[in-house]
Structure 1
Amino acid sequence: MSPQTVPYAHLGSALATDYFFVREQFTEDQWEHFLDTRRFVDREVLPAINEYWEAAELPWPLMRRLPELGLLGEDIQGYGCPGLDPLARGLVNMELHRGDGSLGTFLGVQSGLAMKTISMLGSDEQKERWLPAMARLEKIGAFGLTEPDHGSDSVALETSARPEGDGWVLNGAKRWIGNGSIADVVVIWARSTEDGQVKGFLVEKGTPGFEAATMQGKGASRAIWQADITLDDVR
């Protein structure tokens, strides 16, 4: 697509202008991701999202479109992920958040937090098991860092991990965990009672001692669910 055919009128209030030659800074591939996401937001998100926001419901039809658009997994290479470069990823997130912060947050939690953690720190077995399914939205992930008393301050993190045999026992609480009550797997960050270091653990839905309750009465980002999570001797 040449610069002359780009719909500049949609870039801002200064219609049909590009004073800083923004378009010239992006490759064709980056710009196509931007335009695909913009069309999705204009044609599908904006006409529908207000009803989900008012009802505090998850916009499942819109969420299911994300893998069809090749967005889940963002910059992860392989495992069925799109391998977006940083600029393409930024353009996509900018457009999704323009449509609705809840939908943009869902992408951020699924891809940028849960999947990215598994991609960077998981074993080969964990990557093979979770990443392809998460890229297809067959599995949903969450990222359990934030706590009731300390927010997202990992230095003050209190959730504990006690070594036991070949595994670990987790105890503690998390709050404001996006996707927490619908996730198939949650990355839980806990402090080892052995060496005091913060470590990451994958906790699957249905694990005994793991409970996640959707938080009610939110005034913002109502079309994504955050959860209170309790961990009681989770193994």
Structure 2
Amino acid sequence: MKTRHLRGFTLVEILVAIAVIGILAALLYPSLKKSREQANEALCANRLANIGKAVILYTNDHEMTLPGPPVSQSFAGWFDNSANPQKGGLISSFLAPYLGSNLPDPPPYKPGYSKEFICPTWEGYFGAKKVADVSSFGTLNCYVVNRRIIVDGVPVGNSSPWGVLPGSPASWGSQTPMKLISVWQPSKNWMITELDQQGNFGSSTPLATPIHKTFRNAVFFDAHVERVPVNPSP
């Protein structure tokens, strides 16, 4: 009876196979990366759309008044329950019941962050752990609220649509939130958009340029979401 010997792969053949796999991976990686970025961009837009819907639901329950006044006229996402979320929180505090977010426990101070206010691309860039770390305040702030309505291309004075708490900022005095119906051209005035040093609040955010590079996702006061080009055409 003859013994059948199975021929194995030579070292050269194995090396060639590894090289081919490496080349294929290198060719596929850009496409896979682009697909992932596009998925994150879409998820970011979806989260902003949910925020826009939450604002509309809030106004329906509060005689068409926008949520506020917030403790900050800048950042949108973190909140706390120190004393009273309606006085001590940001926009996400007011919208928490409409977004399925749980406000932090009562005092002592326990800050929290709403998942709907985290851009997935931002989370991937900085890392989920750092984004969720409330001690890293600047890293938390993916989104910023619009604190001045634009009428015919000109910002309207010291008047925030969300209202102003005394001393925040001091020169603005105390203001109550606007009625949604009072917002001029709601389809042209953005409500919340992405935060970066190039576009808005300077060094208060660690991101130097827009997270999506050529555009920023924004939700407008009529609750629609669109990509706003970083350098719009004249």
Q: What's the TM-score once normalised by structure 2's chain length?
A: 0.28
Larger Rg: 2
What TM-score results when the alignment is normalised by the length of structure 1?
0.28
Instruction: Judging by fraction of residues, say which structure has more strand.
Output: 1
